[in-house]
Amino acid sequence: MNETPAEEDARGRDFIREVIHNDLSEGRVTTILTRFPPEPNGYLHIGHAKSICLNFGAAKEFGGRCNLRLDDTNPTREEEEYIEAIKEDVRWLGFDWGEHLYFASDYFGQLYAWAEHLIRDGKAYVDDLSAAEIREYRGTLTEPGRNSPHRERGVDENLDLLARMRAGEFADGERVLRAKIDMASGNINLRDPVLYRILHATHPRTGDTWCIYPTYDFAHGQSDAIEGITHSLCTLEFADHRPLYDWLIEHLPVPSEPKQYEFSRLNLTHTVLSKRRLIQLVEEGHVAGWDDPRMPTISGFRRRGFPPEAIRDFAARIGITKSENVIEMALLDYCVREILNKCAERRMAVLRPLKVVIENYPEGEAEELDAINNPEDETAGKRKVPFARELYIEREDFMEDPPKKFFRLAPGREVRLRYAYFITCNEVIKDDAGEVVELRCSYDPETRGGNAPDGRKVKATLHWVSAEHALPAEIRLYDTLFAEEEPALDGDLAQALNPNSLEILEDARLEPALASAETGTTVQFERQGYFCLDPDAAPERLVFNRTVGLRDSWAKIQKQKQPKKG
C-alpha cells in the first residue's frame, strides 16, 4: 500500500497518535491494539472510513494491530449481507485484520457470566418496569431520577429472574437487567443503565441460543477488555458513556483495562452520514441501492470510481480532532482528482454526439493515429485511435453563431482534432425543425498528428471519435444527492433530495479502445472528467459513471477564501 504525502504527514500529528506515542515511550503499553467496531446494520459510509483509517492506520504506524469486530448485539437489525459488505469495504480501503475478525456475539457467554457477577456483588438487579416507566423514572438533565421499586431485590431472586429471562419465561420487554449505580447521577448514563433486554429474535450468528441480549453499553467496553484493546477510539457522542464503561471495567474481573478516547465525527456537505437515513434512502427507493454512486457509502464511492487511496488521502487531510465541523464534499472530489490525474489513462468519448463528415477524406478508408495514454505517466504508453470520413464531435463544441469568446468550431472556422488533423467547417446541415444535425467539413492532410507545417495556429483542440468504429454507451452524470449543503432532515427526506442528482445520456460514443475497459477502473475522458465502467455494462452497451468532473471547484473555493490582493 503506497501512502499519499498527506497520509505520511498525518503520522503522529493528532492528539490520539500523541497519546499512543506517549503510552509507548513511557512504557504504559508495550504493543498497541485498536479495533474498528461497526454494527452490522448497514453498509459502511465515508464517516466509517475516517474511523477505519484512524484505527488501522495508527495501529500500523506504531507497529501494533487492529481487530475488526462486528458489534452484533442487536439481532433484529442485523444481516449477514452487511457483515460481508463491511469486510469487503475495509479490505478494499487497503486494510487487513489478519486473523483478528471478532464478533461481540462471541462474548455472549462471558458477558452473561459477568452479569451474574454484578448481581452477586449487589451491582445489578432485574427490573420489572416497562420501557416507558424506566424512561419516566430516569428523570431529566435537570432533575434526578427515582429508584425503581425493584431495585432492592435480593441476590438470589435476581439470579433466579435473570436465569428465567434467559430460559425464555418472559415476553420481550417484560423485564430487564440494570446496573445499580446512581439514579441521581448528573450523568444520565449512570442512572442504572440497562445491561440486558429480552428479545425473542433469531441472531444471524447465535441463532436461537439466546433470547436475552446485552445492550451496546454493556457489550462494548467488555469486548474491548476481552480482546486486550489498549486504545479504544470512538466518536464524541460516546464521551458521556465513558464513566459507565469505566465503572463496568472497575467492577468486573476483566482481563485488561482499555482506555477510551473520543474524536469528532465526520460530517460532509450535501449528504447524510447516518445509517438510519441511508437505510431510508435505499428502502424508499430514492437511490438504486447501497452502492448507488450517489451514496456516501464506501461501496457507492467504489462504484463511482473513487480510488481507495483518495479516500485514505481525504481522511489524512481532514485529520483527527475534537471539534465538530462540516467538511466540503469538494475536498473529497479534490483528493479523487489528485490521484486519478496521476494514474487514470486518457480516452476520447463524445457524450452528446454531432456528426461531422470530412468531405475530402476518401470514402471507405480509415487510418490509425497515435494517442498518448497518460501525459503524467510515460510508462502508460500509447494507443491507436481510428480516424475515418465520418466522425462525431461534442455538440457543445460547435456554434453556428458563436459569441466572442467561443473559440471552438463554427462555420468557416478551423480547429484541431486531437491527435488527428485540422478541420474546417464548410456547411451546416439542419433538420426540418432547424436543429443542426451534421457538419460538412474538410481536413488538411498536411496537419496529420495535429500540427501545420506552415506554422498556422488554431485556437481549439476538440476530442472526437470515428463514427464507424465508435462504441455506443450510456453515461451517468451525477450531482450531489441533496440540494442543500446541510440538508434539513427534520421534515421529509425526499423533499431535501437534489432532483438533478442523476442525468443519463443514452447516446454517447466512445473510442474503441474502451471495449477492454474493466469494471472498477477509472479513465479520463479528455476534456470531460473521470469515468468508471459500471457493473451494469454489457459488451454491446457500455455504461460509464462520471466519477468526478475536471473542473476543480475545491481550488475555486480556496481561492475565494483567500483575501484579495490589493
| Alpha-carbon gap, residue 217 to 220, rounded angstroms | 6
Among residues 48, 166, 231, 413, the one that binds ligand ATP under rule CB under 6 A: 48
Size of the site for ligand ATP (CB under 6 A): 14
**Which range in 1-9, 25-33, 42-50, 96-104 contacts ligand ATP by CB under 6 A?**
42-50
**Which range in 44-52, 147-155, 282-290, 536-544 contacts ligand ATP by CB under 6 A?**
44-52
Active site residue: 191, 242, 259, 275, which one? 275
**Which range in 35-43, 194-202, 378-386, 421-429 contacts ligand ATP by CB under 6 A?**
35-43
Per CB under 6 A, does 234 bind ligand ATP?
yes
Active site residue 237: no
* CB nearer ligand ATP, residue 35 or residue 346: 35
305 binds, among ligand ATP, Mg ion, none (CB under 5 to 8 A by kind): none
37 binds, among ligand ATP, Mg ion, none (CB under 5 to 8 A by kind): ligand ATP
Radius of gyration of the chain (CA): 31
**SS3 assignment, position 147:** coil
Strand partners, 232: 260
List the Cα angle 518/523/527 in 5-degree steps. Answer: 150
Per CB under 6 A, does 235 bind ligand ATP?
yes
Burial zone of 401 (CB within 10 Å; 0-12 exposed, 13-18 middle, 19+ buried) = exposed
Tell me how far, at minimum, the Cβ of 556 lies from ligand ATP, in Å. 26
Please list every residue from 50 through 69 that binds ligand ATP, using CB under 6 A: 50-51
Per CB under 6 A, does 474 bind ligand ATP?
no
Q: Which long-range contacts (CB under 8 A, 24 or more apart) does 146-154 make?
A: 146/183, 147/183, 148/178, 148/192, 150/125, 150/126, 151/125, 151/127, 151/180, 151/192, 152/125, 153/125, 153/126
Q: Of all helices (H) and strands (E), which one includes residue 350? A: strand 349-350
Strand partners, 52: none
Q: In what order do the strands lie in the sheet with 349-350?
A: 346-347, 522-525, 529-533, 542-549, 471-478, 502-510, 349-350
* CB nearer ligand ATP, residue 234 or residue 357: 234
| Alpha-carbon gap, residue 524 to 345, rounded angstroms | 6
* CB nearer ligand ATP, residue 300 or residue 529: 300
235 binds, among ligand ATP, Mg ion, none (CB under 5 to 8 A by kind): ligand ATP
CB 504, CB 428: distance < 8 Å: no
Q: What is the dihedral of CA 383, 388, 394, 395, to 10 degrees?
A: -170
| Alpha-carbon gap, residue 160 to 100, rounded angstroms | 36
Active site residue: 123, 146, 151, 265, which one? 265
Active site residue 39: yes
546 binds, among ligand ATP, Mg ion, none (CB under 5 to 8 A by kind): none
* CB nearer ligand ATP, residue 198 or residue 234: 234
Strand partners, 355: 392, 438
Per CB under 6 A, does 37 bind ligand ATP?
yes
Active site residue 459: no
CB 457, CB 415: distance < 8 Å: no
- Fill in the per-residue mask, 273 to 292: x = in contact with ligand ATP (CB under 6 A), - = not in contact: xxx-----------------
Which residues make Cβ contacts (< 8 Å) with residue 123, sequence separation at least 6?
Answer: 179, 180, 181, 251
Tell me how far, at minimum, the Cβ of 262 lies from ligand ATP, in Å. 9
Which residues make Cβ contacts (< 8 Å) with residue 297, sequence separation at least 6?
Answer: 43, 44, 45, 46, 278, 290, 291
87 binds, among ligand ATP, Mg ion, none (CB under 5 to 8 A by kind): none
Among residues 38, 145, 353, 487, the one that binds ligand ATP under rule CB under 6 A: 38
Residue ranges binding Mg ion (CB under 5 A): 39
Catalytic residues: 39, 265, 275
Residue ranges binding ligand ATP (CB under 6 A): 37-39, 47-48, 50-51, 234-235, 265-266, 273-275
